Amino acid sequence: MGLPSALEQWVDDNFPVQSRKELGHACLGFAGVLLVMTLTPIPVVGVFMNRSGLMMANILLVIGSLLVAGPGDVRRFMLAPKRRLGTFAMLTGFVLICKRWALVGFIVELLGFVDVFGHFLDSALGWLAPLMPRGVSGLLSALRRGIAAWVRMFQHLFGLRRAGSGA
């Protein structure tokens, strides 16, 4: 019995699935709050585009998604052929943030996020549109289309094609 299986058995014995999911949701919530705080230019707080805040939000996001969905499902989702470019961009953005290029890293990471989760944005905006004030849902949808256009331009400029995209 090697270390990974012994560790996995210990985790299964001491942390039931429900507890892991609750802890994962807490990590995702803290990551969201930290990301909003880091991206909001509040002079009193002074954490706008703070490298440490962005790194901690990324780490909490990864830990939370691993705890909620499980490592196998996360690996299959992120490394699917259609999402590999976005996953690579997200990892590249994280490395750039670690190398003290916070703004460039965040932009690269945002492009990767839109590439990986872009199809969910339209569904979420469609679901949230009746709850939003008039004009906000259209603005968010236009922003999403603009970012998706940047991703397509990036793919075209660097000769990167998605598997099965036909383009």
Residue 3 placed within a domain:
no
Instruction: Please report where in the chains the tokens 């660097």 appear, as a residue.
Output: 158
Give 108-137 pLDDT, tens digit per residue. 998 888 888 877 766 776 677 677 777 776
Q: What is the pLDDT of residue 159?
A: 65
CA angle 82, 124, 132 (to 5 degrees): 150
Whether 101 and 32 map to the same domain: the answer is no
Residue 34 placed within a domain:
yes
Q: Check pLDDT > 90 for residue 164.
A: no
Whether 142 and 157 map to the same domain: the answer is yes
Which band of pLDDT confidence, cut at 50, 70 and 90, is reported for residue 161? low
Whether 127 and 150 map to the same domain: the answer is yes
Q: Are 111 and 144 in contact (CB under 8 A)?
A: no
Residue 95 placed within a domain:
yes
Domain extent, residue 124, equals: 82-167
Give 130-142 pLDDT, tens digit per residue. 777 777 767 777 7
Which band of pLDDT confidence, cut at 50, 70 and 90, is reported for residue 2? very low
Closest among 143, 139, 120 to 129, alpha carbons compared: 139
Q: Are 97 and 106 in contact (CB under 8 A)?
A: yes
Whether 86 and 74 map to the same domain: the answer is no
Q: Check pLDDT > 70 for residue 64.
A: yes
Give 19-59 pLDDT, tens digit per residue. 889 999 999 999 999 888 888 877 766 667 788 888 999 99
Whether 109 and 131 map to the same domain: the answer is yes
Whether 55 and 90 map to the same domain: the answer is no
Whether 99 and 160 map to the same domain: the answer is yes
The SS3 assignment for 53 reads: helix
